[in-house]
């Protein structure tokens, strides 16, 4: 048999519930909602501990004003590397936001990302160290063993349904904390600043008593479409309540609509459940999901002494007590060591191993820790083997790609060298042609005929040949290569040209005529040799 006192503390209000666990049977021994003055918190807590006989029992409490952040890390990283990555991301965030990192204590849990299969989502929680220390000191010599966020502990009240079921828990306390549960795991946490704190303070301005303000909420029934006959006199504080609830329900509706997958149920809990018909009010706005009040799973078939709603108003305290009894996310306990830092005594390990083999004995917290370590070890071994195989396969694939790329590059280099040889040969031909034409342009005086010769030769103008070459260079298509230019007789020019296609040579022949570079232009039909077509073009200088 084990017991735990759950204490949920907010400004002005304390909820407590002592839960008794006998094998698999859970029972709430005592519970209540207490209003207190801040300067009297030590006396109030001492009174609760004495009245519940919890001086020697473990106590589980909540953290306050915590910060929630979300990071993404690669799923293939080692757990230690994941934590280092998260620590670095949080350090950068603190620098950006101006937080004092050394004053904050942090915890985190990892989830498989629903948005990216190769990443893990990190739910990161940070709380002020001094506030946690002061909260624990408020309990004096009592044994506080668990300090956790209520956002994740509240999930303990649910009996897990199908693994693919998605639910949302709306905990309306001082502010409103919305916990999204996907596939049986807490996946996201949203904070809505509006909540019962604002409602109670507003009513308190009229009633001048927080306790009486809370009683007014318990005596208030929300209008629904099926209950229009209610008189406003029975609900005198609706004008303080309804605007806040309207903001809350609209924010929750947005969360439901943006959640990955269909949300089957929206559970409502916290001080807000004191208002009658609040679940019906939510249902009118959120029609895609079933809205209902959150009932602790173990009370469904248990014999209870009070109305079920009296238990529900201390749900937060019950959830914390269950957390202290081993239910929920142990890695988010700010009283214990950070997740992953387990220190076990050798004798305790030996005793725990014996208890693990004794199937009739109830498992202790240390037994459960050893089971987790063993399971984690097996998962790591299997994961490492799979990851290694995947890496080797990827290396082989990359080596094949590198070999293929090397062959392609080698082939391209050989082709470039071949083209370079052709270009060098063509350049040499052009140089020979220019040299020959220069000789034609400046003939030796001995070759000139005597003026008395009966047949006088036609003399070519001095710049005719260079002008022709300049014009050819300007109009010749890129795909055409001139292999020979000869001045056979007088002004007659014979050009041999090559190209890959007939139409490219035809265009060159036509442009020689239309640009006036040559007159009386004629050409052969062309001779194809492999991929090359060769033609001879004849014409006269103008």
Within 10 angstroms of residue 252's Cβ, the number of other Cβ atoms is 24
Instruction: Give the bridge partners for 19, in sequence order.
Output: 4, 28
Q: Which residues contact 441 (CB under 8 A, 6 or more apart)?
A: 460, 462, 465, 466
Q: CA-CA distances (angstroms) from residue 128 to 9, 125, 154, 197, 519?
A: 16, 11, 21, 22, 97
Q: Return the closest-CA partner of residue 459 out of 492, 494, 490, 493.
A: 490
- Residue 509 has a pLDDT of 85
432 pLDDT exceeds 80?
no
**Phi then psi dihedrals of residue 181, to 5 deg:** -115, 115
Verdict on whether the full-model pTM lies above 0.85: no
User: Is the sign of the CA dihedral 370, 371, 374, 376 positive or negative?
Assistant: negative
Contact 8, 14 (CB under 8 A): yes
Residue 358 confidence class, pLDDT cut points 50, 70, 90: low
Mean pLDDT of 320-336: 89
| For helices 278-285 and 238-258, angle between their N-to-C axes, nearest 10 degrees | 50
pLDDT of residue 128: 95
Q: Residue 362 pLDDT > 60, yes or no?
A: no
Q: At what angle do helices 346-357 and 365-441 cross, to 10 degrees?
A: 100
pLDDT at 9 over 80: yes
**Concatenated DSSP letters of 92-151:** HHHHHHT--GGGEEEEEEEEE-SS-TTEEEEEEEEEEHHHHHHHHHTTTTS-EEEEE-HH
Cβ neighbours of residue 153 closer than 8 Å, sequence gap 6 or more: 60, 62, 316, 319, 320, 322, 323, 328, 329
Task: Check residue 451 and give its pLDDT.
Answer: 43
Integer CA distances (angstroms), 418 to 239, 283, 411, 414, in order? 90, 79, 11, 6
Mean pLDDT of the chain, nearest integer: 84
- Residue that has been written with the tokens 């060298």 in this structure: 417
% of the chain with per-residue pLDDT over 70: 85
**Beta carbons within 10 angstroms of residue 18's beta carbon:** 24
Contact 34, 53 (CB under 8 A): no
Stated as kind and residue range, the H or E segment containing 169 is strand 166-172
Structure confidence at residue 405 (pLDDT) = 82
Pair of tokens at residue 411: 């082939």
Tokens coding 24: 């698999």
H or E element: which one contains 174?
none
Q: Give the pLDDT score at 456.
A: 44
Which residue in 530, 475, 532, 467 sits closest to 508, CA to CA?
Answer: 475
Give the count of alpha carbons within 13 A of 451, CB side only.
0
CB atoms within 10 A of CB 195: 24
Query: What's the pLDDT tens digit per position in 49-105?
Result: 999 999 999 999 999 999 999 999 998 899 889 999 999 999 999 999 999 999 999
* Residue 162 backbone phi and psi in degrees, to 5: -60, 150
Section 175-204 average pLDDT: 94
Confidence band of 448 (pLDDT split at 50, 70, 90): very low
**pLDDT level of residue 489 (50, 70, 90 thresholds):** confident
Partners of 535 in beta bridges: 497
- What's the angle, vertex CA 115, arms to CA 109 and CA 121, rounded to 5? 15
* Cβ atoms of residues 468 and 521 within 8 Å: no
pLDDT of 234 above 90:
no
Closest to 188 (Cα-Cα) out of 175, 198, 197, 178: 178
For residue 367, what pLDDT is reported? 58
Query: 113-122, 141-150, 362-371: which has the minimum mean pLDDT?
Result: 362-371
What's the Cα-to-Cα distance from 53 to each of 9, 45, 142, rounded to whole Å?
19, 12, 11
- What lies within 8 Å, CB to CB, of 166 at 6+ separation is 180, 181, 182, 183, 259, 260, 261, 262, 263, 264
The yes-or-no verdict on residue 107 having pLDDT over 60 is: yes
Of residues 454 and 496, more confidence is placed in: 496
Buried b (16+ CB within 10 A) or exposed e, 346-366: eeeeeebeebbeeeeeebbeb
């Amino acid at each position: 048999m084990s017991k735990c006192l759950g204490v949920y503390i907010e400004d002005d209000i304390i909820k407590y519930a002592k839960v008794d666990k006998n094998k698999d049977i859970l029972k709430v021994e005592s519970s209540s909602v207490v209003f207190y003055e801040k300067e009297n918190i030590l006396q109030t807590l001492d009174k609760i501990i004495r009245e519940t006989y919890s001086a020697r029992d473990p106590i589980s409490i909540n953290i306050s004003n915590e910060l929630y952040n979300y990071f993404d890390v690669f799923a293939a990283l080692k757990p230690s590397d994941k934590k280092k990555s998260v620590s670095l991301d949080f350090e950068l965030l603190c620098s950006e936001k101006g937080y004092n990192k050394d004053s904050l204590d942090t915890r985190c849990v990892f989830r498989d990302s629903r948005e990216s299969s190769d990443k893990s989502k990190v739910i990161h929680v940070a709380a002020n160290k001094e506030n946690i220390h002061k909260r624990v000191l408020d309990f004096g010599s009592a044994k506080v063993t668990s300090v956790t966020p209520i956002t994740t502990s509240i999930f303990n009240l649910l009996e897990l349904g199908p693994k693919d079921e998605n639910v949302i828990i709306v905990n309306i306390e001082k502010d409103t904390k919305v916990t999204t549960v996907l596939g049986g795991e807490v996946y996201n946490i949203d904070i809505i600043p509006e909540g019962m704190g604002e409602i109670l303070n507003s009513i308190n301005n009229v009633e001048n008593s927080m306790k009486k303000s809370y009683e007014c909420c318990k005596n208030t029934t929300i209008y629904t479409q099926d209950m229009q006959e209610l008189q406003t006199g029975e609900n005198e504080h609706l004008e303080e309540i309804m605007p806040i609830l309207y903001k809350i329900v609209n924010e929750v509706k947005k969360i439901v609509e943006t959640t990955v997958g269909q949300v089957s149920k929206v559970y409502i809990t916290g001080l807000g459940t004191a208002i009658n018909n609040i679940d019906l009010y939510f249902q009118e706005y959120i029609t895609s999901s079933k809205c209902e009040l959150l009932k602790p799973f173990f009370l469904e078939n248990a014999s209870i002494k009070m109305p079920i709603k009296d238990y529900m108003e201390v749900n937060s305290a019950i959830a914390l007590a269950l957390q202290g009894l081993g239910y929920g996310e142990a890695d988010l306990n700010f009283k214990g060591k950070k997740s992953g830092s387990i220190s076990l005594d050798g004798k305790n390990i030996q005793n725990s191993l014996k208890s693990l083999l004794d199937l009739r004995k109830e498992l202790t917290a240390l037994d459960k820790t050893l089971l987790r370590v063993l399971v984690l070890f097996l998962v790591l071994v299997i994961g490492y083997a799979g990851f290694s195989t995947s890496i080797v396969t990827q290396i082989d694939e990359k080596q094949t790609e590198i070999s293929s790329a090397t062959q392609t590059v080698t082939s391209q280099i050989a082709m470039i060298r071949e083209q370079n040889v052709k270009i060098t040969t063509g350049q040499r031909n052009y140089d020979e042609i220019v040299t020959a034409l220069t000789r034609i342009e400046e003939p030796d005086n001995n070759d000139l005929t005597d003026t008395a010769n009966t047949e006088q030769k036609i003399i070519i103008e001095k710049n005719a040949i260079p002008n022709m070459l300049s014009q050819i260079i300007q109009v010749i298509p890129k795909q055409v290569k001139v292999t020979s230019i000869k001045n056979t007789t007088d002004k007659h020019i014979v050009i041999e040209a090559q190209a890959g296609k007939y139409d490219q040579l035809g265009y060159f022949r036509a442009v020689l005529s239309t640009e006036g570079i040559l007159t009386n232009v004629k050409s052969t039909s062309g001779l194809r040799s492999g991929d090359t077509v060769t033609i001879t073009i004849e014409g006269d200088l103008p």
